[in-house]
Amino acid sequence: MSSGRLTGRSALVTGAGSGIGAATAEVFAREGARVVVADLDKAGAAATVERIRDEGGVAEPYAADVSDEAEVEALVDFTARTFGGVDVLQNYASNRGVVAEDVALAGADASAWARQLGVDLMGCVFTAKYALPHMLRRGGGSITNASSLVGWLPLESRPAYATAKAGVIGLSRSIAVEYGRQGIRCNVVAPGPIVSPGTEGMYTAEQTEVLAEHMAAPRLGRPDDVALAALFLASPDAAFINGHVLVVDGGMSAYAPMVPSFRRLAREE
């Protein structure tokens, strides 16, 4: 049920054509925000907007590549012109097209690294760069950037992704420190494994079982789990929270790494 926590706010959500970004845009619209749904996938953005409008929400689609500074400037300008300003910025755009190329560092491909950092890190830089002046003119605003548990607990592969997500944390805290006294809050959501259309093909059935073993929860995460955490950070309820990393991982990072092995041994006895 909506409590109207974002009523009257203008929100820009990137990567909102699917997954966590789409869930966040939909939750924000239910809470009263007017939302620009941005995604490189024009059809995905339009589908999210259609779902929002079907529920009586207000949203507009916009196709943009967040790694392109000129496109981001136009996107933020569109948001401000359409809804009278920018109050809330949510960054979820991520380049999943380089997963196969993001290999062990000795075989690193410079182009793959540039494309990963270009979307996941520089996308956050560019959107904040152009949204901040609008927020400052309105006396403040809220930015939430998506990192990942991988940002400080890397996998055996995907070093470019881990580096980008670690960079998002440093960037977000820098924004919080630099602009916090001017009414800007910048926080981070760091999801663990999330089951969504964008991630279903990334794990085999065996890998999914391994992920489940590492949960201090009865299930894997869903996009709404992250969207509701992001709603809290964007809302007045989090007015005194700035520069914070909110981990949404079902407790995966809460315990010693040998715990799943101990559980397995106990089952075998």
Best CA proximity match to 17, nearest among 55, 47, 52: 47
Q: Could you tell me if 78 and 36 are in contact, meaning their C-beta atoms sit under 8 angstroms apart?
A: yes
Would you name the residues annotated as active-site residues?
161
Alpha-carbon distance 211 to 192, whole Å? 10
The single residue listed with the structure tokens 């999943």 is 96
Burial of 229 (0-12, 13-18, 19+ CB in 10 A): buried
Best CA proximity match to 136, nearest among 144, 126, 128: 128
